[in-house]
Amino acid sequence: MAVNTRAFFLLPSHGTDSVGLGQRASGLHPEAQPHIIWGQGTPDGDRSPFTDVNKGSIYMQVNGTDDAPHLWVKNDEAGANDDWVSFGAPSYAVSEEYNVDNGAGTTEDDVILVPDRAITILAARLIFTEALGSGDAEGALFRMGTAVAGQEIVASVSLGNSQAVGSKLDLTIVSGVVAADGMIAARHTGVATTVTGKYKAQIAYI
């Protein structure tokens, strides 16, 4: 996404003072009010009006990619692009590495995350760290839930066959809602035949 070349105030500014655009409603206010600005592209932190507003101000990006975060918050005043932090950008967590042929019907469990706040899982995928062979590999299964062996988040799915290193398998989310202090548990069920292949599970959440 290109850097912004022109931005606008959502609400009109009322004068200036020593700490930037805006006004102090009274002498009890220590700084100027924060502002809301909008435009196209990512924030250009060394150009007006991005340099004019103080920390806590919000920038609305109106031409971002669908389903991506579009709000930016100013958290520094160094006159740099990284003064502005994307608000609502997803966090990521990854499981342990699973070996596909760990034994017929043999399960291996991992707790990916226990969040201290309620979260929503936006996406889940399997990432292959070793090339997956063909044939019996499709007998290996993966699931994810809010309890050990659960399927509340991702129902049991076959790994398929013939995946290259670095390839991904996107998973269908049954429900991405996880309560505070809830468990996100992953389970791999293996195959007996010697088949190459290792993978990890990755989730994106807000």
**What are the mean pLDDT values of the chain's consecutive 10-residue runs (206 residues total)?**
74 48 58 87 91 91 81 90 83 96 95 92 95 88 97 96 94 93 97 92 94
Q: How far apart are CA 200 and CA 159, in angstroms?
A: 12
14-to-23, 28, 54 alpha-carbon distances in Å: 6, 18, 15
What's the pLDDT at 123? 93
What's the pLDDT at 189? 97
What's the pLDDT at 133? 87
Question: Nearest 5°: phi and psi at 161?
Answer: -135, 160
Amino acid at 72: W
The neighbour count for residue 113, using CB atoms within 10 Å, is: 20
User: What pTM does this model have?
Assistant: 0.66
Token pair recorded at residue 42: 């990512």
What's the pLDDT at 30? 72
| Domains parsed from the chain with CATH numbers | 1-89 (no CATH), 91-205 (2.60.120)
164 burial (CB, 10 Å; 0-12 / 13-18 / 19+) is exposed
For the chain, what's the residue count?
206
